[in-house]
Amino acid sequence: MQARLQKRLTDLDRESQISALPPVVVGGLVVIPAGLLATITGRALTKTAGPLDTQVSAARARAAVMEVERALGFEPTDRELDKVGYDIESRVVSGQNAGRLRFIEMKGRVTGADTITVTKNEILYALSMPDVFILALVEFFVWERHRVRYVRRPFTREPDFGVTSVNYDFADLLRRADEPA
């Protein structure tokens, strides 16, 4: 015990004599506010959509798609909060397919948007139910106008194992889309 005590005291003495070397700068950083940078370069400052903006546009898009579904004679049900791989479950009311369900994932974006983000769960559901899955695109224009388009069989392969979501080109999907039916 005496030897351990002596060793510990020696270590403490050596540690008390440790002094830090002067710092060595390996890099630097300048933070420029986005508004100032936009003013200097003469470009417009683009506002990124926050969570509230995204939720509001998603609710507007969902309401637009449900309105279209009702106009087509279907009975839509909002399933967005259930996280099942689609947002709207729409029941066929009459005809030979009465009772059949349509599963609609909707994406609402302002006209000219670059991409939409689709979750892995949404893609997997679309691939497992290709005949009844619809990707509804709601394109918002100025003055509260919008256009709803449907893409059937929007995805061709499942994402890699570690992927949680995938971005798709909005303009490309709109080119592949048809009028709701």
Domain ranges for the chain, please list them.
51-176
Is 3.30.70.890 the CATH classification of the domain at 51-176?
A: no
Question: Where do the H-state alpha helices sit in the chain?
Answer: 2-16, 34-41, 51-71, 120-128, 170-176
- Of all residues in the chain, the percent with pLDDT exceeding 70 is 94
72 Cβ contact list (under 8 Å, min separation 6): 180, 181
Contact present, 103 and 134 (Cβ < 8 Å): yes
Give pTM, 2 decimals.
0.70
In Å, the largest CA–CA distance within the chain is 95
Contact present, 111 and 140 (Cβ < 8 Å): yes
pLDDT at residue 49 is higher than 80: no
pLDDT at residue 52 is higher than 70: no
pLDDT at residue 110 is higher than 90: no
pLDDT at residue 169 is higher than 60: yes
Rounded-to-integer distance, Cα 43 and Cα 40, Å: 8
The rounded mean pLDDT for the chain is 88
pLDDT at residue 16 is higher than 60: yes
Rounded-to-integer distance, Cα 88 and Cα 134, Å: 10
Q: Which of 17-26, 99-108, 127-136 has the lowest mean pLDDT?
A: 17-26
pLDDT at residue 51 is higher than 50: no
Q: Which of 54-58, 68-72, 125-129, 145-149 has the lowest mean pLDDT?
A: 54-58
Model pLDDT, residue 74: 95
Structure tokens at 35: 């508004």
pLDDT at residue 71 is higher than 90: yes
132 Cβ contact list (under 8 Å, min separation 6): 100, 101, 102, 103
For residue 105, what are the β-bridge partners? 135
pLDDT at residue 42 is higher than 90: no
Amino acid letter, 44? A
Cα torsion angle, 143, 148, 154, 160, sign: positive
Structure tokens at 140: 């918002």
Model pLDDT, residue 177: 94
